Structure 1
Amino acid sequence: MNLFSHLLKIEGIMHQGKTTIEKVVGIKSGFTTLLLLLFVCLSPMAAIVMAPSLPKIQQHFAHVPHIEYLTPIALTIPGLVMAIVSPLIGFLADKFGRKKLLILSTVAYGIVGLAPMFLDQFYLILISRVILGLFEAVVLTVSTTLIGDYYSPTLRQRYLALQVTAASTSAILFFALGGYLGGISWRLAFIVYAVPLIFAVLGQMLLWEPKIRRSKDLHLDTAHQDDAVKFRPNFMLAIWITAFIAAVSFMILQIQIPYLLNSIGESSPKTAGNIAALSTVFIVLGTFAVQYMIKKSTPMSLNLLIGFGLIGISFMLLATAQSAQQVLIYAIINSFGSGILLPSVTFWNMRHLPQEKRGLGTGIWNSFYNFGMFSSPILIVYLNGFTGSLKMTLAQLGPLLLAFAVFCMLFDLFRHLIVKAKLTA
């Protein structure tokens, strides 16, 4: 059964105003799910579409002082803005509702994304990228929150895993599309930002505002017992810190592959690009592995152990790599682990959020995660100053990440034992 056929048979969508999770089978429900998965693709779109055109943009604005520094900032600034504003966005989604905020922000995302096609001043383009980051934060936070609102816990985990699948797959498509259009004109690459305008129209037709039910009421409703959780800030902070560490770990290989290859005498950008592309395929395969683990009711402690463990092992192996072939093999291990880890920390967060705090909790999670991605290259440069080389840094980080993998497993395991003991007391 293909993905679309599966989506047409979903169960557990919550209708507006209903107090029970009902079975819904049909074309509309399948498109609703597919649309929510597509919204997450706007996050990689924010950076990747522009990436192949950076040299041409820098050349076009060569007269701008320090353009060699400002051009990459224009690429990454949406992610930093997203990290800063996501908690506020989540709070607003809980306070004023989801759908209208998502639709209006998607329209604004498309309009602001198209702006560089017509702007002749680089600083105006930079400002448009800052504003783009604001609306990107809304789209990702609210669409993820709606997955939590619409679906039963089992389907929720499955579709959160598919979010990572969709984002990773779309990243490959956007890079190729951005490269093709950018080859014609760097301005033409931004035409891709017209796509969100279509998403906004579909969202207005297919989405609905969920009825927010407070956790104290859900305890009295047997249909919603799985959502009857309390908001525990200290425990959630542990999850958010884990998301930060996961993001730092994930981005290390994504950014450092060219530098690692250069350290062994492989300086070809084509080689680095091929390894990155093949690795992305295994991120997708990792997300499919997570879905299998969900079906088998694998505990979160094991997901975290496998995810962080594989990344830690890959770091130690990459520290010994002497050829591009070895880098590729070890990068595949890293990517498969990332494909397991990223959706796992996503639905670990969602699982412990009451509905009335789901927007806020998702926003804070996005903030920690995006700060992790932004901090990763800075942290590696800083550590390289102490260790003397990238390989030595990876050799040190590998065992630390393995230790953290074991810690995460024990933390989640002992927490479940404590909760179980309280329930049986």
Structure 2
Amino acid sequence: MNPESWRVKTAILLVSSLTIMSMITISASLPDMTKTFSQHSNAAGLVKLVLSFPALFIALSAIIAGLIIDKFGRLKLLGLALVLYAVAGSSGYWLDNLYLILVGRALLGVCVGISMTIVTTLVADYYQGQARQKFAGIQIAIMSIGGIIFITLGGFLADIHWRVPFLLYFFSILILPFTYLYLKEPKVQSETKTVKKGISSPKVIWFVFINVMLMWIIFFIIPVQIPFYLKSAIGIEKNALIGIAIASSTFFSAVSAFSYSKIKDKLNYQQVFCLGYFLMALAYVCIALSNSYAMVMLGMLLVGLGMGVLIPNANIWVMQLAPIEIRGREIGRLTTFWFMGQFLSPIILLPLLEFISQAQLFYTIAVVLIVLSLSFFIWQLKQRK
């Protein structure tokens, strides 16, 4: 197998695209879904949990998946995960019970935790150095483009009925043949099945993990809250426009992710984090100040540019720090912290809306982002000295 083959790269990128679509495809459906289940005492909270619930189970399953693939191989679980992804993901179309829909979302999370850990580890296995850096940026960019396509489709389909976007999850079945035809067990893994005792990563890897969780806690308020913000604060009623707004952040994430390798050639890891957080801070200020759809779109542009460099930067840093023998475990942990941030985001941030307005919430997040950006700026200055 030639990792540089376009077939191999296409297979990896297609599986990668399932990660973002698993979460935000149904974002535009949330307001109408809330009306349907309004008989529940906490309908708004439960429906928002439908969006973020998979993240908890991605987080719980990814770390276990990382241990399994280090011991038994990368590809043994992938086919089953893709089949169950379609079944669990489409459950919102078939089920009338909100709690059963949440069960389906939980199973979807397990499938994503397995598939994402596998493909991210394969990137580290198949590619080295500059090639790895370049492909990691492409991987995040394609994930973002996939997000654009699916959330835009989700917005238009939600205007038909909020249930219809759930059918998009059958896309995983179309990907299944590519994985069997073009992905092979990497030689490096077969040579290191026995994990040596005492092998560990540098302690700084835990700083990267925690930083990734904070990054997603801050960002994930966009797909969770922007649909409601656009309707209540800006007066946007069309679900298609809501879908386009959220998808635009994903589009600009793809733009900056494609450029990540060139940016990383000129900046170190700390400087990239400083830049990404600063762009996101500007984005949240724009959203807080917005009194028009265009101003919100400017915020979506900036937040996308920031996340587009932050995600591959964290991934590459972990790949560099993790020893080959425990690579799957460490990338499983990365995935766990990534999606734990997504799950915790509405739990931590939405209760603040009981005390402050939506605009004030975005201002508060902007201040946190400025502090994070300055922290990385100071760190890289100390490192230079």
Distance between the aligned counterparts of 1:149 and 1:393, measured in 2? 41
Q: Is 1:312 aligned to residue 281 of structure 2? A: yes
Q: 1:208 to 1:337 in 2, by over 3 A?
A: same
- Go from structure 1 to structure 2 and tell me whether the alpha carbon gap of 1:267 and 1:114 turns closer, same or farther (over 3 Å shift): closer
Deviates more, 1:105-114 or 1:346-355: 105-114
Alignment of 1:3-402 (within 5 A): 24=2, 29-53=5-29, 69-115=45-91, 123-180=99-156, 189-210=165-186, 211-212=188-189, 231-232=200-201, 234-258=203-227, 265-270=233-238, 272-294=242-264, 296-384=265-353, 388-402=356-370
Letter of the structure 1 residue corresponding to residue 143 of structure 2: A
Quickly say closer, same or farther: Cα 1:415–1:87, change in 2 above 3 A.
farther
Give the whole-Å Cα distance in 2 for the aligned partners of 1:258 and 1:117.
20
Amino acid at match of 2:255: L
Distance 1:393 1:63 in 2: 28
Of 351-360 and 181-190, more deviation after overlay is shown by 181-190
- The amino acid of 1:287's aligned partner reads A
What is the deviation of 1:389? 3.0
Partner letter of residue 40 of structure 1? S
Q: State how far apart, in whole Å, the 2-side matches of 1:259 and 1:179 are.
A: 14
Deviates more, 1:237-246 or 1:61-70: 61-70
Q: 1: CA distance between counterparts of 2:358 and 2:87? A: 41
The verdict on how the C-alpha distance between 1:399 and 1:209 changes in structure 2, with shifts beyond 3 A counting, is: same
Identity of aligned residues (%): 28
The answer for the alignment partner of 2:375 in structure 1 is 407
**How far has the Cα of 1:234 moved from its partner?**
2.5
Give the SS at the match of 2:260. Answer: helix
- Matched-pair contact (CA < 8 Å) for 2:155–2:242: no
Q: How far apart, in 1, do the equivalents of 2:56 and 2:126 lie?
A: 29
Tell me the distance in 2 between the aligned counterparts of 1:60 and 1:139. 32
Amino acid at match of 2:213: F
Gaps (5+ residues) in structure 2? none
Look up the SS of the partner of 1:301 in the other structure. helix
Change (3 A) 1:313 1:98: same
Q: Is the 8 A contact 1:249 1:311 kept in 2?
A: no
Amino acid in structure 1 at the alignment position of 2:313: S
Deviation string for 1:207-243 (max 9, x for gaps)?
Answer: 111232559x9xxxxxxxxxxxx73353111000110
- Check whether the contact 2:57–2:110 (CA below 8 A) recurs between aligned residues: yes
**Distance (Å, rounded) in 1 between the aligned partners of 2:155 and 2:139:** 24
Q: Letter of the 1:245 partner, please give it.
A: L
- Counterpart residue identity of residue 389, structure 1: S
Q: Secondary structure at the match of 2:145?
A: helix
Q: 1:18 maps to which residue?
A: none
Corresponding residue SS for 1:362? helix
What is the alpha-carbon distance in structure 1 between the residues aligned to residue 96 and residue 242 of structure 2? Answer: 33
Residues 67 and 38 of structure 1: CA distance in aligned 2, closer, same or farther (over 3 Å): same
Equivalent residue letter for 2:173: L
Q: Structure 1 residues 308 and 182 mapped into 2: Cα distance closer, same or farther (>3 Å)? A: closer
Uncovered stretches (5+) of structure 1, i.e. residues with no partner: 1-14, 16-23, 218-229, 418-425
Q: 1:281-330: per-residue Cα shift (whole Å, max 9, x none)?
A: 22221212313224x35321221111011112333454444544333334
Question: Partner residue of 1:420?
Answer: none
Q: Deviations over 1:98-137 (max 9, x none)?
A: 1112223223323433455555655444323222211111
Higher RCO, Cα 8 Å, sep 6+? 2
Q: Does the CA-based 8 Å contact 1:37-1:159 persist in structure 2?
A: no
Q: Is the 8 A contact 1:172 1:277 kept in 2?
A: yes
SS, match of residue 100 in structure 1: coil
From the superposition, tell whether residues 119 and 402 of structure 1 become closer, same or farther in structure 2 (CA, over 3 Å): closer
Structure 1: distance between partners of 2:205 and 2:3:
34
